[in-house]
Amino acid sequence: MRRRIPFIVFPLAVLSILTLLAFSNDRRKFNLSQQLNIFNTIIKELDLFYVDTIAPDKLIKNGVDAMLSRLDPYTVYYSEDDADELKMMITGKYAGIGSIIRYHTDKKTTVIAEPYDNMPAAKAGLKCGDALLTVDGIDVKGMSTDSVSNLLRGEPGTKLKLEIERPGVKKPMSVIIERASISLPSLPYYGILHDSIGYILFDSFTENCAKEMRRAIVDLKGRGAKSFIIDLRGNGGGSLQESVNIVNLFVPKGKTIVTTKGKIKQANEEYKTTREPMDTESPLIILVDGSTASASEILAGSLQDFDRAVIVGSRTYGKGLVQTTRSLPGNGYLKLTTSKYYIPSGRCVQALDYSHRKSDGTVQRIPDSLTNVFHTAAGREVRDGGGIRPDVEPKSEELSTLLFYLMQDMTIFDYATEYTLRNDTIAPAATFEISDADYELFKKKLIASGFSYDMRSSKMLKQLKEMIKFEGYEEITKDDIASLEGKLQQNLGHSLEHFASHIKRLIGDEIVKRYYGQKGGVVYNLRDDTDIEEAFKILSDGERYKKILAPQQNEDI
């Protein structure tokens, strides 16, 4: 009997656990059904008895949006009307006029900010600064840019009539534009720098971007490129598979690049390189910043884990979550987070834990002290959580408060428009400079406009005064505080001189794009770029490049 007891107890224990699990699962299903019944009943009660007539579709969408917002920012419901937005995110394609638009706060209407080359807006003669008055007879003054964008989009081949107000032209103008399929380039620019360095600006991971990357590299090699800089700064990601395909250009076949892990079996998947690489030797630098996210982090992190590239810039965003899209009734879609991804070293770069929100609903970053150490193929230490930490972090200048406000203001935009009215041509983008005389004109315009901004130092002084009063030192520090307040009075003229070089670059960028488009803007901004300068230094020093990618040696003490 003693020998049989364990064999009897074990099945009973398993049966008990299974019973508890089944009971728990039944309760969960019952609770879910009950909550759905409550939601359905509330909608019906509102429709029958609420004092005003409700729009059920809008009410339910607001409820769904509020519910999903408590999960993470990437789980989103797209109604039938919003389906085009989702399609554009996935493919980089939409049908419209092909222009960036911006709301002009002074004119209180949307203006053309940047018509793309060879797109309908440019072909119809629209220019930067053109203010939209009506779209197909609909008055758009005061309308949000999202609403105006919806009016401008439509089926390819359909026409729309715009009434615009053009700077320098007294009467409103009418323009007929034929909509077309717009495909935003994943690689808006690539070229040769310093004779033998191939530079590639990579904006987004849309369909077939890996093929575009391959073509760019082949072209650059044909033009003499011996090493490469891939600029992922500001690249918010996109297709996971495309990121794997691009990694495959630089690492051997058969390597595991990404492993996804989720709640259900279908969410668990391995992504491997499936083709022979095109280049495993050329020195490679990846530029990243705080807006480098998702698929961009897979690319940068995988190349770091394989010791295939030197990562330069600032720490990336930290998005280690994977989304899939599911069809819904009524031609809607649900884009939802189904798994986390892990790159070759085994780390996940997710920085925020959305499952543990604070009482006020906010989410905190995972502290560095709670992150874990992993190792690259060569044995270098890397960490999970908090994005990809670069191998080299150049010192970057912090934007002053003045520059931040100037970028939000329309004064630079308007000045660039006026500049184009005065100048038919300018120097090439690589050499263009704002003259001192032109900058003086800008300063006078800005000061005359009544432009002002909140100085951080003044805000901090106010907080200091409150603390001094709280601690009882108000009387003995009164004169010192008054003196400091006088010195910190906003002096716009002084600030415009102190930050002249930075402001000139902002103005120059806006002007260059008017003459040479997006590519011209890229060429102009490659100058005085601290990350680019650091990349040049590393690529010009082969020993330093190798040393960065080599494992650190512990010295005996």
Q: Name all domains of the chain by residue range, CATH numbers in brackets.
A: 93-183 (2.30.42.10), 189-383 (3.90.226.10), 401-539 (no CATH)
Report in angstroms the alpha-carbon separations of 17 from 14, 25, 31, 390. 5, 12, 21, 48
- Return per-residue pLDDT of the chain as tens, 557 residues: 444 444 444 555 555 555 555 666 778 788 888 888 998 999 899 999 999 998 988 888 899 999 998 899 999 999 888 887 887 777 777 889 999 999 998 899 999 999 988 899 999 999 999 999 999 999 999 999 999 998 999 889 999 999 999 999 999 999 999 999 988 889 999 999 998 999 999 999 998 999 999 999 999 999 999 999 999 999 999 999 999 999 999 999 999 999 999 999 999 999 999 999 999 999 999 999 999 999 999 999 999 999 999 999 999 999 999 999 999 888 889 999 999 999 999 999 999 988 888 877 788 888 888 889 999 999 999 999 889 999 999 987 776 788 888 888 888 999 999 999 999 999 999 999 999 999 999 999 888 887 877 666 666 777 787 888 878 878 888 777 777 766 655 577 888 898 999 999 999 999 999 999 989 999 999 998 999 999 999 999 999 999 999 987 654 44
Report in angstroms the alpha-carbon separations of 433 from 410, 427, 447, 525, 526. 21, 8, 22, 12, 14
Residue with tokens 């899209």: 325
Tens digits of per-residue pLDDT, 50-88?
999 989 888 888 999 999 988 999 999 998 888 878 877
Residue with tokens 């780390």: 347
Q: Exposed/middle/buried for 187, CB within 10 Å: 0-12, 13-18, 19+?
A: middle
Q: Exposed/middle/buried for 29, CB within 10 Å: 0-12, 13-18, 19+?
A: exposed
What type of residue sits at position 158?
T
Beta bridge partners of 102: 111
d(CA 91, CA 291): 20
What type of residue sits at position 110?
T
| Other beta carbons less than 10 A from residue 120's beta carbon | 23
Provide the 3-class DSSP secondary structure of residue 100.
strand
Select from 211, 184, 229 the least CA-distant residue to 92. Answer: 184
Calculate Rg over the CA atoms of the chain: 29
Q: Which two tokens stand for residue 531?
A: 């990350």
Residues 230 and 198: beta-carbon distance below 8 Å: no
350 dihedral zone (left: phi>0; alpha: psi -120 to 50; beta)? beta
Provide the 3-class DSSP secondary structure of residue 322.
strand
Q: Exposed/middle/buried for 417, CB within 10 Å: 0-12, 13-18, 19+?
A: buried
Tens digits of per-residue pLDDT, 101-160?
999 988 999 999 999 888 999 999 999 999 999 999 999 999 999 999 989 998 899 999
Q: Which two tokens stand for residue 67?
A: 């519910």
Catalytic site residues? 294, 305, 319
Q: Exposed/middle/buried for 248, CB within 10 Å: 0-12, 13-18, 19+?
A: buried
What type of residue sits at position 556?
D
